[in-house]
């Protein structure tokens, strides 16, 4: 049984956007898609460890604010240079207006 | 002294690790506080402006090339090829840059297509230069880390001047194409290009060399310079605006400072220059927020200008500062242009001997 943590209220995130969530000194990024689904990934880009929460969400893609590296945040897949290492993803669910993510 | 200092710019030298040890590599750079909602608006991608500008750009090149061909053999061809050459040999730099960031278009394949085309025109390998430019953004003007420092201290003046006709860049590009086509990278490239990307570099070099070989063969076969004037040649005879624009970005400013407001210029330019340069004159804004497309940079400028140093009102004003600074750096390599932030601008780093702009040898700076 994994550890689920409270990430945020579901209305804290706009559709097609991302917010940062910190837990135990670790950074996560929580996304809300255009069709109102929630996703979670590591908070830092795998290229140079910049925070993804300042980046741009376009469809299912998060773009890093530093070098424009792109990931599919629904799968974590790196979509091309300068990111070549996939992003770790975490299961997310909404319950009673709260977003939870499973971190371990 | 000058030679020793120039050696410090090598990415394969000891200054690279010294910058890492001093916390200058991958450092935290200043960013103005722009509300998230506003940033999202500014970062939003669209295809319209870049399609319009690219159609005009390619259309103008086709028109000028057509007129040049029509008048080939007479002096009337010269102004048309000059215009074609600037669009090809100078403006391809800004198209390469914007498409390389992936911000020109919303549609990915349009961006990739423009990036490949512009990379070929400007004679830069699209893969190595993508990584080089990523490093430039991570470590802007950090000595030993940034592979794109155009005006070093002391400036290699003869090379800077020769490059107004592409006489350094073009031979270097062909040398690199041959190295890459042989399946190798330079030591500096090996510092920032991951192994998984390297086969792409070798493949592109072989394709590019084949295109240039076909161009030269056509010139020999037709006993005419025209194929070379159309392909490759503009990178020489039309390259003079590339350094005119490019040197305004950082030349003469502080090194190792971790604040783009202090090591980067924003210069006001007229509409023609901004078209040719695709708004890269808003360079502080671009470095602070690289995800904002070129056509939104004037709006971003309005958001952050109160946090910055004063804008240069013209190219002329920028060069009145750049030329004396470069000349003085020939004999005084600790000299640099101090940028004073506007009153009320958000402060950031308190300079230390390692990050005060002089870029002294880091071992000595840390001991000070």
- Which tens digit of pLDDT belongs to each residue from A20-32? 999 999 999 999 9
Q: Identify whether the C-beta of residue A42 lies closer than 8 Å to the C-beta of residue A29.
A: yes
Question: How many angstroms separate the CA atoms of A18 and B291, rounded?
Answer: 15
Chain A residues within 8 angstroms (CB to CB) of chain B: 17, 47-49, 54-56, 58, 63, 65-68, 70, 81-82, 84
- What are the chain A neighbours of B137 within 8 Å (beta carbons)? 66-67
pLDDT of B367 > 80? The answer is no
- What are the chain A neighbours of B104 within 8 Å (beta carbons)? none
Contact A68 B102 (CB under 8 A): yes
Contact A67 B103 (CB under 8 A): no
pTM assigned to the model: 0.91
Encode B8-29: b = buried (16+ Cβ within 10 Å), e = exposed.
bbbbeeebbebbbebebbbbeb
Average pLDDT, chain B: 93
Of the residues A15, A69, A82, A85, the best mutation for testing chain B's interface (the one with the most B CB atoms within 10 Å of its CB) is A82
Q: What pLDDT is recorded for position B128?
A: 92
The shortest C-alpha distance from B23 to chain A (Å) reads 14
- What are the chain B neighbours of A60 within 8 Å (beta carbons)? none
CA-nearest residue of chain B to A14?
A: B37
- What are the chain B neighbours of A65 within 8 Å (beta carbons)? 289-291
Task: Render pLDDT for B80-117 as a digit per residue (tens, 0 to 9).
Answer: 999 999 999 999 999 999 999 999 999 999 999 999 99
Q: How confident is the model at residue B197 (pLDDT cuts 50, 70, 90)?
A: confident
List Cα–Cα distances, B213 to B127, B218, B294, in angstroms.
Answer: 22, 9, 35
pLDDT of B62 > 90? The answer is yes
Task: Render pLDDT for A54-70 as a digit per residue (tens, 0 to 9).
Answer: 999 999 999 999 898 99
CA-nearest residue of chain A to B134?
A: A67
ipTM comes to 0.88
CA-nearest residue of chain A to B36?
A: A54
Superfamily of domain A4-102: Rieske [2Fe-2S] iron-sulphur domain (2.102.10.10)
Q: What pLDDT is recorded for position B349?
A: 64
């Amino acid at each position: 049984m994994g550890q689920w943590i409270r990430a945020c209220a579901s209305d804290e995130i706009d559709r097609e956007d991302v917010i940062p969530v910190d837990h135990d000194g670790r950074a996560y990024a929580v996304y809300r898609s255009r069709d109102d689904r929630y996703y979670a990934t590591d908070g830092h880009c795998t290229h140079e460890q910049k925070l993804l929460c300042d980046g741009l969400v376009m469809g299912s893609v998060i773009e890093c604010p530093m070098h424009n590296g792109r990931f599919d945040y629904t799968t974590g897949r790196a979509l091309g240079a300068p990111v070549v290492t996939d992003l770790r993803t975490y299961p997310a669910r909404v319950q009673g207006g709260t977003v939870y993510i499973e971190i371990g | 002294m000058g030679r020793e200092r120039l050696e410090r710019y090598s990415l394969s030298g000891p200054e690279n690790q010294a910058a890492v040890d001093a916390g200058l590599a991958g450092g935290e750079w200043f960013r103005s506080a722009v509300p998230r909602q506003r940033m999202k608006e500014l970062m939003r991608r669209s295809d319209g402006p870049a399609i319009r500008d690219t159609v005009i750009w390619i259309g103008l090149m086709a028109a000028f090339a057509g007129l040049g061909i029509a008048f080939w053999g007479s002096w009337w061809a010269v102004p048309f090829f000059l215009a074609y050459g600037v669009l090809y040999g100078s403006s391809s730099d800004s198209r390469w840059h914007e498409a390389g960031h992936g911000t020109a278009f919303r549609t990915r394949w349009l961006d990739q297509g423009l990036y490949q085309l512009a990379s070929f025109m400007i004679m830069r390998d699209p893969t190595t230069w993508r990584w080089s430019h990523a490093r430039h953004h991570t470590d802007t003007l950090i000595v030993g880390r940034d592979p794109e420092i155009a005006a070093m201290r002391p400036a290699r003046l003869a090379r800077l001047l020769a490059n107004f006709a592409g006489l350094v860049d073009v031979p270097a590009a062909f040398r690199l194409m041959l190295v890459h086509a042989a399946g190798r990278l330079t030591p500096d490239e090996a510092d920032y290009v991951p192994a998984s990307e390297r086969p792409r570099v070798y493949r592109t070099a072989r394709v590019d060399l084949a295109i240039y070989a076909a161009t030269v063969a056509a010139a020999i076969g037709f006993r005419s310079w025209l194929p070379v004037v159309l392909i490759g040649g503009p990178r020489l005879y039309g390259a003079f605006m590339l350094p005119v624009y490019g040197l305004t970005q950082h030349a003469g400013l502080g090194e190792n400072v971790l604040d783009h407001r202090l090591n980067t210029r924003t210069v006001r330019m007229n509409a023609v220059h901004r078209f040719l340069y695709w708004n890269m004159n808003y360079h502080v804004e671009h470095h602070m927020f690289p995800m904002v497309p070129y056509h939104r940079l004037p709006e971003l400028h309005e958001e952050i200008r109160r946090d910055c140093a004063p804008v240069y009102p013209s190219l002329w004003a920028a060069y009145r500062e750049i030329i004396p600074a470069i000349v003085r750096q020939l004999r005084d390599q600790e000299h640099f242009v101090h940028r004073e932030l506007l009153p009320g601008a958000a402060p950031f780093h308190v300079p230390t001997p390692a990050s005060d702009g002089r870029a002294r040898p880091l071992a000595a700076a840390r001991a000070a």
